[in-house]
Structure 1
Amino acid sequence: MAMTNKLTITLVLLISIAFFHCLAFRLEFEEFEPRQQQEEQEGPGAGHGGSSGRGWEEEATNNPYHFKERSFKSWFQSKEVGYMKMLPKFTKRSSTLFRGIENHRFMFMEMEPNTFLVPHHVDADFVFIVLQGKGMIGFVTDKTKESFEIKKGDVVRVPSGVTHFFTNTNETVPLRLAKIAVPVNTPGHFQANFPSRSKFQQSYFSGFSNDVLSASFNIPEELVGSLIRGSQQMGQGIIRRVSPEQIKELTEHATSPSNKHKEKGKGKEKDTSTMWNPFNIFKEDPIYSNDFGHLHEAHPKKFSQLQDLDISVSWINMTQGSLFLPHYNSKTTFVVFVENGCARFEMASPYTFQGEQQQQQKPWFEQEQGEEQEQEEEEMSGQVHKFVSRVCKGEVFIIPAGHPFAVLAQDQNYVAVGFGINAFNSKRTFLAGQENMLNNLDKVATRLSFGVGSKMAEKLFTSQNYSYFAPTDRSRQFPEKRKPSFQSIFNIAGF
């Protein structure tokens, strides 16, 4: 009987030790964990798309930064050969939120296997990245012609006014490109110009009279009609099916991008490539990388093709359940296009959207001085508006400069590309992780700013074990030695 009582007391003691050990461990890390009371305090409708008791899927409907697939307009579309789609001017969604990128347009293009996009030039500079497949791009000027093989990860600059054409050389996989355009004539607008006529596109030669064309090309006027009308191509669009033999002829002199355009200068590698020479974003080491994500970036400081446009190109790949830690960019606004999977974007913004819609009922030149002053005061209101969206493949999210944001990869691996506008002198500042900016705050400054005790101030910004990318599963955050060991407890008890 005494033995039984002793065993019972020992078991109760062990359970108590284990309970208090776990409780202490939980309290240690929940001491400074933010309490989720903001939703209850703010009530419905707070923050114009922020915490309001609704699911974030519903909140996304009022998110001006999220462009779904239906937002795209078809520039060209054919089930047989491919399509081009373009977002409307960003300022059509909001004239104030996107004023800084009003002269930029985003496009997406897909060409089916064994197809050819006819030569043309555009009154806009383009930067594109290959998302999938392989192909060839050709450039033609009055002095030279060059063609390059392109594949996944290749970034290419297409200067304004340079005639170029594409070929998808893959027999099974579509060629997919994401593009950012910078128009040179009318802000936010551009046009493509084609020398040859197609089903829905006139030749630019149709803008000249027959006698001018006859004299210009030194051909009889009866031949001018075939130049303008192109009767044999009337039934075809700007993307056309081609035979393997024609692809072989087109790609016969294409070269593969290499490092031969780089040379050493003043102790570092100098880029001396031509303006349209492709380069592969994956040949550069990722700027951020761990088990949960990788971020590759082509920056205008390193690649001369991007310098005058002040545009960077990024490729991000995150594992399922990982988090791109909260941060902001000092000058760069990112146009992010999702290539695979879905992610939850969370962003804090000082700007309202619904309030601006009400102001837009009157043109700016009809607003009275009091209304303008009211708008300026609203910009300094001190309110933070939370924008949350589930962004999936084929959709776009805009991240303005200075806006803190985070990205959570959800049901599968997440892949996206980003075009950074005003990238040259921008700095990325992380607000969480081992290398976060707030970790450099003096502990006294932390206590005074956040109203916390000394112990909490030490832990608040120093408990994250990862930089840049981190797991959302908390059990993966801590080293094994910090997890409660029930085996060690039993060892202490003599078992």
Structure 2
Amino acid sequence: MVINTKLSFAFLLFSLFFLSVTFSLAVANVDPELQLCKSQCRTYHEFSHRQRRECEQKCEDYHGQNHGEGEGEGGGGSRIVLNSNTDPEKQLQQCQKQCERQREQQKEQCRRQCQDTYERQRGEEGKGGGGQSGEKDEQGRQQEQGQEQEQEQGQEQQEQNPYVFQDQHYTASLETNEGRIKILQRFHQRSRLLRGLKNYRFVYLEANPQTFVLPAHLDAEAVVYVASGRGTLSLVSQGKRESFNIKQGDIVRIRAGTTIYMINRDKNKKLRIAKLLQPVALPDEFQPFYGPAGENPQSFYRAFSEELLSSALKVEQDRVQRVIKQQNKGVIVKASEQQIQALSQREESGMFPFPFGSTESKRVFNLLSKEPSISNRYGRLHEADANEFQQLQDMDIAVSYSNITKGSMEGPFFNTRATKIAVVVKGEGYMEMACPHVSQQQQGQGQSTGEQRREQQQQSASPHYQRLSSPLKRGMLFVVPAGHPLIVVAGNNRNLEIVCFDVNAENNRRESLAGDKNIVNALEKEAKELAFSIPAREVDEVFAKQNEWWFFPGPRGGHAYA
């Protein structure tokens, strides 16, 4: 098995290098060839965490050699690699000089990368105890290696949980000085176990205070949740516009092809928005289309021939080109206080076409203003489905928000039909889930085909459940398939807040596995004795003791993850 893994590792590296040559493109803000190489490393499941890191480093090394990064005038592109033996101050100066040779729209990103590299190198110097004796340096290196091994073991254990997504699983990012838009990798690329979510994508937007997000439309249906901050959202369709203020807890349904733009009208806080997308043009693929734009992001108007565009707009070609080539600051830009005030007025131009016959604006639903479905001193649950928010009707999606009191827990429970896509918006904690699928995959490794077949036949009659666990912190995402029992625990320092998009929500039910309304308490005495093979009295002493429901006190003394 080890030999096969090494051969697979070597073969993949060779394949990736071949792909790098085949897909040799001009280096832009995010080099597609390097991005492709790295994404292949991350999705190859036979690799350990260390092997993935080695693979990604090989990608960078090979890319640097082929593009001449950091080598005089020929080293074009937005990514700068410098000699690690040079003094960090000199490296920073060299790096900044190279930035001046970039195109105008790439200079700022280049300078930022230089500064990040410089700060990272200075930090590493401090850890290594630069200037001390060789013996102390060696001790420091050994200590760092030990810490690194412990960290890798934890990360490798986490990598065995295919239902958890972290920063490294975002495969694309549109980033400026004023914010960023992150796109999560396809769910089914993380694991075949998630192929039920093949036609769903997740996007996370973060905009700095008093900024403007450029207008664009998507070839995807979208459900938006405002995780934090305050803004003004504008929608344009059929030549008509509607604007409304948004705040934490708001849910907005945005139909495919609707032009959307927004501002962060807060002076101090970032605007954070989670989006679940359902592509309509190509399965599991979507694209933003920027019209009112320029060089960066590129306006789709520029794809048309100048004479046709001039005729359509009834304006001279040079005037048209001047308008659609000016913008070069990216998708999120700084706005003046006067511009923010003007865009916050929520003016409407005509009546916006609503799909369900209503002439009133029902596009925003605040989840946190709704009475919680479940509430006690250990947490509260807010939920909205198509019955409360009609805009969700044809997407078969529900949205929920759990606020788990610090040191408390939610569950165990499971959904009967819905697959839960959960995003941590605040706090820290950990989760545990019972899963039969990962256990079957692990048990099948190292067995012959005949042994696997016999094992699978036995497992189909008597499944074995694997406990999948993971620490949780803000920005992490995890998936809970239908029927999978789940427990989520908040850390001891602050509440854990999670927003969930439930896919296949119609006719879904929540089933509690502990507490006042758990399924075991509803069984007859004889059913309990037959199922557990012990007297029903002993079953009741275990399952009927907890008087709370849904949210409970957490384990005493906390947990290693918390």
TM-score tier by shorter-chain length is 0.7 to 0.9
In structure 1, what is the equivalent of residue 329 of structure 2? 236
Q: 1:395 aligns with which of 469, 476, 483?
A: 476
Q: How does 1:153-302 map to 2 (within 5 A)?
A: 153-227=249-323, 229-231=324-326, 233=327, 235-254=328-347, 272=358, 277-302=363-388
Contact 1:156 1:276 in 2 (8 A): no
Q: Which amino acid aligns with 2:190?
A: R
Q: Does 1:149 align with 2:245?
A: yes
Q: Which amino acid aligns with 1:127?
A: V
Supply the distance in 2 between the matched residues of 1:337 and 1:168 (Cα, whole angstroms). Answer: 21
In structure 1, what is the equivalent of residue 505 of structure 2? 423
CA 1:303–1:392: 2 relative to 1, 3 Å: same
In structure 2, what is the equivalent of residue 468 of structure 1? 550
Supply the distance in 1 between the matched residues of 2:361 and 2:436 (Cα, whole angstroms). Answer: 39
Supply the distance in 1 between the matched residues of 2:455 and 2:232 (Cα, whole angstroms). Answer: 50
Q: Which amino acid aligns with 2:181?
A: M
For normalisation by structure 1, the TM-score amounts to 0.74
Q: Which amino acid aligns with 2:422?
A: V
CA 1:274–1:61: 2 relative to 1, 3 Å: farther
CA 1:276–1:104: 2 relative to 1, 3 Å: farther
Post-superposition CA distance 1:347-378 (Å, at most 9, x none): 1111027838989xxxxxxxx9x899789748
Post-superposition CA distance 1:274-306 (Å, at most 9, x none): 687111001211111100000111112321111
CA 1:437–1:238: 2 relative to 1, 3 Å: same
Q: Which amino acid aligns with 2:302?
A: S
Cα offset, 1:339, TM superposition? 1.4
Q: 2:158 aligns with which of 34, 45, 60?
A: 60
Q: What SS class does the counterpart of residue 307 from structure 1 fall into?
A: helix
In structure 1, what is the equivalent of residue 409 of structure 2? 323
CA 1:312–1:273: 2 relative to 1, 3 Å: farther
Q: 1:138 aligns with which of 234, 239, 245?
A: 234
Q: 1:440 aligns with which of 502, 511, 522?
A: 522
Contact 2:440 2:464 in 1 (8 A): no
Contact 2:444 2:452 in 1 (8 A): no
Cα offset, 1:61, TM superposition? 3.2
Q: Which amino acid aligns with 2:332?
A: I
Contact 1:157 1:276 in 2 (8 A): no
Q: What SS class does the counterpart of residue 395 from structure 2 fall into?
A: coil
Q: What SS class does the counterpart of residue 445 from structure 1 fall into?
A: helix
Q: How does 1:317-466 map to 2 (within 5 A)?
A: 317-352=403-438, 355=441, 377=457, 380=460, 382-412=463-493, 413-466=495-548
Supply the distance in 2 between the matched residues of 1:209 and 1:356 (Cα, whole angstroms). Answer: 56
Structure having the higher strand fraction is 1
CA 1:355–1:458: 2 relative to 1, 3 Å: closer
CA 1:254–1:318: 2 relative to 1, 3 Å: farther
Q: What SS class does the counterpart of residue 434 from structure 2 fall into?
A: strand
Cα offset, 1:165, TM superposition? 0.2
Cα offset, 1:468, TM superposition? 0.6
In structure 1, what is the equivalent of residue 205 of structure 2? 109
CA 1:98–1:453: 2 relative to 1, 3 Å: same
Contact 1:301 1:424 in 2 (8 A): no
CA 1:135–1:187: 2 relative to 1, 3 Å: same
Supply the distance in 2 between the matched residues of 1:159 and 1:336 (Cα, whole angstroms). Answer: 22
Cα offset, 1:222, TM superposition? 2.8
Cα offset, 1:85, TM superposition? 0.9
Supply the distance in 2 between the matched residues of 1:371 and 1:163 (Cα, whole angstroms). Answer: 56
Q: Does 1:85 align with 2:218?
A: no
Structure having the higher helix fraction is 2
Cα offset, 1:472, TM superposition? 2.5
Supply the distance in 1 between the matched residues of 2:556 and 2:340 (Cα, whole angstroms). Answer: 53
Q: Which amino acid aligns with 1:400?
A: P
Q: Which amino acid aligns with 1:212?
A: L
Q: Which amino acid aligns with 2:523?
A: L
Cα offset, 1:150, TM superposition? 0.3
Cα offset, 1:430, TM superposition? 0.6
Post-superposition CA distance 1:90-146 (Å, at most 9, x none): 010112x11111111111111001100111100011111111110100011124210
Supply the distance in 1 between the matched residues of 2:443 and 2:204 (Cα, whole angstroms). Answer: 28
Q: Which amino acid aligns with 2:169?
A: S
For normalisation by structure 2, the TM-score amounts to 0.66
In structure 1, what is the equivalent of residue 150 of structure 2? none
CA 1:437–1:354: 2 relative to 1, 3 Å: closer
In structure 1, what is the equivalent of residue 133 of structure 2? none
Relative contact order, higher structure (CA 8 A, sep 6+): 1
CA 1:275–1:63: 2 relative to 1, 3 Å: farther
Contact 2:417 2:509 in 1 (8 A): yes
In structure 2, what is the equivalent of residue 23 of structure 1? none
Question: Which is greater in Rg?
Answer: 1
CA 1:448–1:354: 2 relative to 1, 3 Å: closer
Cα offset, 1:88, TM superposition? 0.2
Q: What SS class does the counterpart of residue 521 from structure 2 fall into?
A: helix
Cα offset, 1:414, TM superposition? 0.7
Supply the distance in 2 between the matched residues of 1:56 and 1:238 (Cα, whole angstroms). Answer: 36
Supply the distance in 2 between the matched residues of 1:312 and 1:417 (Cα, whole angstroms). Answer: 11
Contact 2:235 2:261 in 1 (8 A): yes
Q: Does 1:128 align with 2:224?
A: yes
Q: What SS class does the counterpart of residue 243 from structure 2 fall into?
A: strand
Cα offset, 1:167, TM superposition? 0.4
